Amino acid sequence: MRTFLIDTDTASDDAVALIMALRHPEVRVAGITVVAGNVPLEQATRNAIYTAELCGRGDVPVYSGASKPLTRECEHATWFHGEDGLGNQNYPPPRGRCRDTPAAEAVVRIVHENPGLTLVTLGPLTNVAIALQRDPKIARKIARCVVMGGAPCCEGNVTPAAEYNIWVDPEAARAVFHSGMPVIEMVGWQLCRGDANLREADIAAVRALDTPLAHFAIDCNAVAMEANRAQSGEIGIALPDPVAMAVALDPSVCTKRSTHHVDIETQSDLTRGMTVVDRLDVVDDPRNRGVWSSFAGRPKNVSVCWEIDIPSWKRTLFSALA
Ligand SMILES: [Ca+2]
């Protein structure tokens, strides 16, 4: 049994990712920590509890955390996911409530209690950054940190330079990327695009499973599907968090990866939240030390996923909804 800890700004694609982890027979979800992002904190917390209960896993503890980024105001994305983050389907309130322990405190405790766990982040990295501020030693105890975020060497979805999760709280992302975690696996937004979208035939296949979870996964993404068409002109449901979760659950879903120095831009208005990938290892060239020195002499910090096996990603998804 592998132990997962999931940090989420629970909106429609997060909910599907949570289902994948909660339903996986070889994974124990030690906790779900919630951060403000796509939707405000209170709504995101409600959505996380609702989703866990839908999976019959109301016993999994949910912890509410940061209501805004480390130093900035929060910019939500309700236009993409619906006012409630779940496609405005009027889902009832959950039966349970979150624990009293704040999310960052829960992250510290759960990591110490479960050394070697996998941390999966599906939202802005604020909670994780606060946990690392409280206890930097947790970094070494997280065997894998799978981050849905970033736009490595390609266009972003908030600005041409940046993907939402990293853009919202770039200071937090930078702190996490510099924390010394053994492996940060970056699953960028571009991996859910193109054929990785759930197309009409995929949606029909999910509906045909005819389970409550299958219908929920499609229904709660109704607003997101329209927003995806408006944003990128792509027809289908884009599921960045479930793609990242598929890689976390089955590393073989990622078919091309490489490890690099990756830093986050925090100063510029133009490129705020950009995930800057040193593909040519210029940091290791002595001529460049004075120019880009933040990583000089330090190990490469991020494994970037460049390609996924799309049929394998969709199989992983479908099996969770069956
Ligand atoms: Ca998310």
What tens digit of pLDDT does each residue of 44-78 get?
999 999 999 999 999 999 999 999 999 999 999 99
Using the mean position of ligand 1's atoms as its centre, give its distance from the Cα of residue 322 in Å. 23
Using the mean position of ligand 1's atoms as its centre, give its distance from the Cα of residue 207 in Å. 23
Using the mean position of ligand 1's atoms as its centre, give its distance from the Cα of residue 124 in Å. 8
pLDDT at site 298:
84
pTM of the model: 0.97
Cα distance between residue 136 and residue 146, in whole Å: 18
If we measure between CA atoms, which residue out of 30, 64, 67, 28 comes closest to residue 49? 64
Which segments in the chain show pLDDT lower than 70? none
Asked whether 186 and 179 are in contact (CB, 8 A), the reply is: no
Cα distance between residue 254 and residue 243, in whole Å: 9
Domain positions in the chain are 2-321
Domain made up of 2-321: CATH architecture: Alpha-Beta Complex (3.90)
**CA angle, corner 107, sides to 109 and 163, nearest 5?**
170
Using the mean position of ligand 1's atoms as its centre, give its distance from the Cα of residue 290 in Å. 37
If we measure between CA atoms, which residue out of 194, 26, 7, 188 comes closest to residue 18? 7
Percent of the chain with pLDDT over 70: 100
Asked whether 57 and 150 are in contact (CB, 8 A), the reply is: no
pLDDT at site 169:
98
